[in-house]
Amino acid sequence: PPPYTFPLAAVVLAITIVFNSQLALVCAVVLSIMVGLMQGDNQLPTAVTMLLGSGVAVVLARGAERPGTLLIAGAGTTVATVLSQIGFTISTSIDWQPVVLVPMMTFSLVNGVLSALLAWGMFYVVATLAGIITAPQLMELSHPSRPLLRKLMREAPGTYYHSISVANLAEAAAEAVAADALLLRVAAFYHDIGKTIRPYFFTDNQTGRENVHNELDPQISAAIIIDHVREGVKMARAAGLPQSIIDFIATHHGTHLVAHFYQLALRQQDTVDIEDFRYPGPIPFTREQGILMLADSVEATVRAKAQHGQLIAQRIPASANGQTRSGSHTTIEDLVASIIDERVRTGQLDNTALTLRELVLIREAFVSTLQGIYHPRTEYAPQLVKAS
């Protein structure tokens, strides 16, 4: 068969899905030249045909999330290969006849279909060997019918909707700093699956119920809260989730302190070991893990403030005596900034490589998203009333 039936696009498509389109295009150029050099007198037509076919495949397969995308890329390879061969045949053959079009289209069709099928099989192998989770895998994991997500929705509905809100926040922040938004969204869906073990011990799921921690020792309460991370990791491994998702579950609280129960223990006991109230870690070690930690903390804190009527849109200074009502009321901007600052100050983001500029962009993305959800009221200064 002609050299252009070689399914070079299969290799390039696999690289596109597993890694990125930029690397795939570089490989397409290099491999096309190599294949062309092996063809003797037919070097240029072969190299150009290979490059056009694989290049079109890369463009069409960018951001591939479904198998159908690869079929479209294969069809694009077929069309590009046919057009390239027609062009070279017309330009180099004086007595060219249309009858050569049939075998040309046949071989090109084989190239496109074979490339799509091989790429679909190859990318699973390459991704497994490289420990990489691909976009199609992430899309599959995000489907609500997945067993762990169904379990979360049924047994801990408050946590389920918290996870969706965290996913929206994390995705907005990821887009602001060019992080992996799809990976973050899926990780957010699973980050709190450990809460399904004891759902009513978490405020997400206590609506209309008495807080069970009122009857417990602070150390026991803290241990139960902390344990949802360990339980989540165990559940994720048992379900066969990719290691990258498991890492999000393990790091989303880092080594943060369960401050409420720690302070409660200090008031009740003379001697308290602070390590009993600290998450085991590790702290986040990728940008995406750092974003998830921030999104999780921000969503939970802002929602709690909103439920208690303590969230305001902005503070307006008083006119007469300069006094404003503050107390426990706070703005979304202040709340988000304080949470991010606290995580930075306590070293929770030290291993994430997030820059100060990126933290500013993340904060702005959080604030913009949350303001669209909560529409907090404006707090006006108290009015002075003159005595009559």
Where is pLDDT greater, at 231 or 215?
231
Q: Do 145 and 128 sit in the same domain of this protein?
A: no
User: 219 and 339: one domain?
Assistant: yes
Q: Are 53 and 99 in contact (CB under 8 A)?
A: no
Query: Is residue 386 over pLDDT 70?
Result: no
**Between 51 and 39, the higher pLDDT residue:** 51
Percent of the chain with pLDDT over 70: 85
Q: The tokens of 204 are what?
A: 């997400």
* CATH code of residue 298: 1.10.3210
What's the distance, Cα to Cα, between the start and end of the chain in Å?
103
Domain boundary among 84, 100, 132: 132
* Greater pLDDT, 223 or 101: 223
Verify that 233 and 161 share a domain, yes or no: yes
As given in the structure block, the two tokens for residue 129 are 């060997």
SS (H, E, C) 256-269: CECHHHHHHHHHHC
Instruction: Evaluate whether residue 387 is within a structural domain.
Output: no
Contact present, 196 and 156 (Cβ < 8 Å): yes
Write the pLDDT tens digit of every residue in 314-373: 655 544 444 444 556 789 999 999 999 999 999 999 999 999 999 999 999 999 999 888
Same domain as 97, residue 165: no
Show which of 132, 154, 169 is a domain's final residue. Answer: 132
Local structure of 326: helix, strand or coil: coil
Check whether 308 has a pLDDT greater than 70: yes
Q: How high is the mean pLDDT of the chain? A: 85
Nearest partner of 64 among 8, 115, 125, 138, judged by Cα: 138
Q: Examine the domain organization and report whether 74 and 155 are in the same domain.
A: no
Query: Tokens in use for 19?
Result: 């890694």
How far apart CA 14 and CA 193 sit, in angstroms, is 32
In a domain, 361, yes or no: yes
In a domain, 384, yes or no: no
Question: Alpha-carbon dihedral of residues 84, 85, 87, 91, nearest 10 degrees?
Answer: 140
Q: What is the pLDDT of residue 4?
A: 62
Report the alpha-carbon distance of residue 77 to residue 58 in Å, rounded: 9
Supply the pLDDT for residue 338.
96
Per DSSP, 365 falls in state H
Q: Of 79, 100, 132, which residue sits at a domain end?
A: 132
In whole angstroms, give the CA distance from residue 69 to residue 209. 48
What was the pLDDT predicted at 96? 59
CA 133, CA 142: separation in Å to the nearest integer? 13
| Model pLDDT, residue 356 | 95
Selected residue with higher pLDDT from 152 and 123: 152
Residues 42 and 127 in one domain: yes
Percent of the chain having pLDDT more than 90?
A: 49
| Cβ neighbours of 99 (radius 10 Å) | 8
Query: Is pLDDT at 84 greater than 50 in this prediction?
Result: yes
Structural domain tally of the chain? 2
**Which residues, including other chains, have CB under 8 Å from residue 351's CB and lie 6 or more apart?**
283, 284, 285
Same domain, yes or no: 315 and 248? yes
Considering the domain architecture, whether residues 117 and 181 belong to the same structural domain is answered as: no
Asked if residue 49 lies in contact with residue 7, where contact means CB atoms within 8 angstroms, the answer is no
Query: What whole-number distance in Å separates Cα of residue 235 and Cα of residue 383?
Result: 56
Q: What gap in Å lies between CA 115 and CA 14, rounded to an integer?
A: 10
C-alpha atoms less than 13 angstroms from C-alpha of 304 in its C-beta half-sphere = 13
CB count within 10 Å of CB 122 equals 17
Nearest partner of 4 among 75, 105, 102, judged by Cα: 105
| Residues 203 and 341 placed together within one structural domain of the fold | yes
| One domain, residues 159 and 240 | yes
115 pLDDT more than 50:
yes
pLDDT in tens, 270-289: 889 999 999 999 999 999 99
Distance, CA of 146 to CA of 374 (rounded, Å): 30
Structure tokens at 74: 């294969």
The pLDDT of residue 99: 64
153 and 280 share one domain = yes
Position 72 scores a pLDDT of 81
Q: Supply the pLDDT for residue 8.
A: 82
Of 49-53, 171-175, 290-294, minimum mean pLDDT range: 49-53
Please state, as a whole number, how many other Cβ atoms lie within 10 Å of the Cβ of residue 135: 19
pLDDT of residue 322: 44
Whether residue 79 sits in one domain with residue 8? yes
HSE-up (13 A, CA, CB side) for residue 112: 27
Residue 49 is part of which domain span? 3-132
74 has a pLDDT exceeding 50: yes
Q: Is residue 386 part of a domain?
A: no
User: What tens digit of pLDDT does each residue of 156-207 get?
Assistant: 999 999 999 999 999 999 999 999 999 999 999 999 999 999 999 999 998 7
